[in-house]
Amino acid sequence: MSKKKYYVNLYILIPVIYTGIYIIGVILTYQLYNPNEKVSQILSLRFAYIIAAISMFTFITSFFILHVFLKPFMQFVEKTQKIPIYTNSTLNNSEKVTDDIEQINKVFENVANILSKVEAKELFPDVIGASVSMRNIFTQITKVAPTDSTVLISGESGTGKELIAESIYSHSRRKGKPFIKINCVAIPEGLLESELFGHEKGSFTGATSQKKGKFEIANGGTIFLDEIGDMPLATQAKLLRVLQQKEFERVGGTTPIRVDVRFIAATNKNLLNIIKEGSFREDLYFRLNVFAISLPPLRERREDILLLANFFLTSFPKKLSLTPVVSQLLIGFSWPGNIRELKNVLEHACVLVEKDIIEPQHLPEIISRQNSVYIDDNLNDNMPLDDRLMIMEKEMILLALKTAGGVQVKAASILGINQRSLWHRIKKHNIDVEIAKNLQ
């Protein structure tokens, strides 16, 4: 049985509190200066009249002062709740709030949430993501980008590490200067040093002329070393010198060349593990790991899956949309290949689809086999029970919100819980109800 909630208006509550404090202060002050008088004398009829008059004056004065200062504030809250972008956001109109303080807190929390999304979209138009984890990444980028600190971006393959590196560059003071990208896996080991440092004429067979390396070309700008964990140990030692002393020699050369370069590195490997294996230098790791950014896999930012899917669909020649069942399957899949795999799956569907709607049969078999968002590769035998329950609870809430079109009252009814409990669970899991509305 739910407890009754009693609502007291702030215009009454605060003046009453101030009046009570003032009365207590008057009595204590009187007792302090007249310590020998008994309490009964203090509470005499004449003194009671004085207290009543002071109380009335204090209450009325505090009421009007509060009204003057709080009225514009409450007007702002009321106007904000009527703005379409607010009513379509996480706090929808079906959620009844009777407490002034709770209402104000929710309004400001929602406004901050909306502003952070707007800021993310404005500052990072090329990076699709409105989840809390991605907004935290955007905050990190805005802090580190204006500096010259070395950045190490880690994350699984396909999570968008190169896009993050480009975002750092585009918000840095070196924007407009060279931005050189090097994939340490794509270049054969025998040619990597020549690509990075350049070579002198005749330094090896085929070196018919002098060649500038990527570091020299990037002077004054930024260099992005992708898949740094696959760099050969011999090259790592020379890279360490560039990081420490900002100089190097071309292959076959003896003249030191000084450069002013900002370094951004990325890896899909756990560098600490490969340091133990002896395939990566520990001193280089500490030089690179000045400011670390860890990109979450797509399965940990499911709120962004449909945003990404819709973004990819707009880039295809056909105008396509997703059925609710397909949306559910995409959200429920674990995406081991992350964003890159999602794009490939949608391209695959685009080839097969005959009309303008992607249906389950257009998806690869591994995805279409799934009939519930609760199937999750993360739910392995080694996962603690509490973690399993957290994942399943979040998926159930997402499915209920999708079914209810984002209306929390309906979603709570589907789940068999009260609305306040659902609201707290939504906050706990950092679920964006606006994303759920886009599932239909």
The answer to whether residue 335 sits within a structural domain is yes
Q: What is the CATH number of the domain that holds 210?
A: 3.40.50.300
Interhelix angle 385-403/324-332, nearest 10 degrees: 160
Residue 103: its pLDDT value, please? 62
Cα–Cα distance for residue pair 425/434, rounded to 1 Å: 15
Do residues 339 and 431 both lie within one domain? yes
Cβ atoms within 10 Å of 145's Cβ, excluding its own: 20
User: Which is nearest to 328 in space by CA: 379, 380, 378, 363?
Assistant: 363
CA 312 to chain centre: 20
The answer to whether residue 104 sits within a structural domain is no
Do residues 265 and 323 both lie within one domain? no
- Structural domain containing residue 260: 145-296
- C-alpha distances out from residue 371 to 171, 326, 333, 366, 367, Å: 43, 10, 10, 11, 9
User: Which is nearest to 420 in space by CA: 179, 102, 71?
Assistant: 102
pTM for this predicted structure: 0.64
CB-CB contact of 142 with 157 (8 Å): no
Q: What is the CATH number of the domain that holds 433?
A: 1.10.8.60
Element (H, E) at 257: strand 257-258
Q: Which of 122-136, 248-262, 350-364 is least confident? A: 122-136
Mean pLDDT across 417-426: 83
Residue 6: its pLDDT value, please? 52
Number of domains into which the chain is organized: 3
User: Which is nearest to 409 in space by CA: 421, 393, 391, 392?
Assistant: 421
The answer to whether residue 107 sits within a structural domain is no
Query: Which of 204-213, 291-300, 410-419 is modeled with the greatest confidence?
Result: 291-300
The answer to whether residue 417 sits within a structural domain is yes
pLDDT at 134 over 70: yes
The answer to whether residue 126 sits within a structural domain is no
pLDDT at 3 over 60: no
- Phi/psi of residue 359, nearest 5 degrees: -115, 170
Q: Which of 172-181, 331-340, 343-352, 420-429 is least confident? A: 420-429
User: Which of residues 296, 326, 360 is at a domain's end?
Assistant: 296
User: Which of residues 278, 296, 314 is at a domain's end?
Assistant: 296
Query: Which of 108-112, 329-333, 335-339 is modeled with the greatest confidence?
Result: 335-339
User: Which of residues 32, 59, 82 is at a domain's end?
Assistant: 82
The answer to whether residue 291 sits within a structural domain is yes
CB-CB contact of 249 with 197 (8 Å): yes
The answer to whether residue 125 sits within a structural domain is no
Q: What angle do CA 415, 388, 158 make, to 5 degrees?
A: 105
Do residues 287 and 378 both lie within one domain? no
The answer to whether residue 138 sits within a structural domain is no
What tens digit of pLDDT does each residue of 254-293 get?
788 999 999 999 999 999 999 999 999 999 999 999 999 9
Do residues 284 and 353 both lie within one domain? no
- DSSP one-letter code for 251: B
